[in-house]
């Protein structure tokens, strides 16, 4: 499954918090305000990922319950005869 925009952003935020540095060619240490903002962003992105996962699950359930199963219709106008029972 390809990475979504949200999952990539979440991975970036987690990496920045883990390393304590910014992303880019010349990373610099994060300030306390930036760390706090990233922690808030982490909560928002995590909630969005949870919401998207729930939507995928519900869509999969909806698709599986909406399938139409072709059941052959059997005529019951005549009862089948048992073999070897008396006259026809």
pLDDT tens track for 15-65: 999 999 999 999 999 999 999 999 999 999 999 999 999 999 998 888 877
Where are the chain's structural domains? 5-65
* Strand, helix or coil for residue 29: strand
Rounded distance between C-alpha atoms, residue 88 and residue 71, angstroms:
31
Q: Tokens for 68, please give them.
A: 């139409």
Long-range interactions of 49-53: CB distance < 8 A, separation 24+: 49/6, 49/7, 49/10, 52/4, 52/6
| Nearest alpha carbon to residue 38 among 53, 24, 19, 25 | 19
Q: In terms of Cα–Cα distance, which of 5, 3, 25, 27 is closest to 16?
A: 27
Give 66's pLDDT tier (boundaries 50, 70, 90): confident
Answer whether 0.75 is exceeded by the pTM. no
């Amino acid at each position: 499954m390809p990475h979504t925009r949200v999952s990539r952003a979440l991975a970036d935020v987690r990496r920045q918090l883990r390393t304590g540095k910014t992303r880019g060619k010349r990373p610099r240490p994060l300030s306390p305000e930036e760390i706090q903002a990233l922690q808030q962003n982490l909560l928002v992105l995590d909630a969005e990922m949870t919401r998207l996962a729930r939507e995928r699950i519900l869509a999969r359930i909806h698709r599986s319950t909406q399938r139409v199963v072709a059941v052959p219709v059997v005529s019951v106008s005549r009862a089948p005869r048992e073999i070897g029972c008396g006259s026809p």
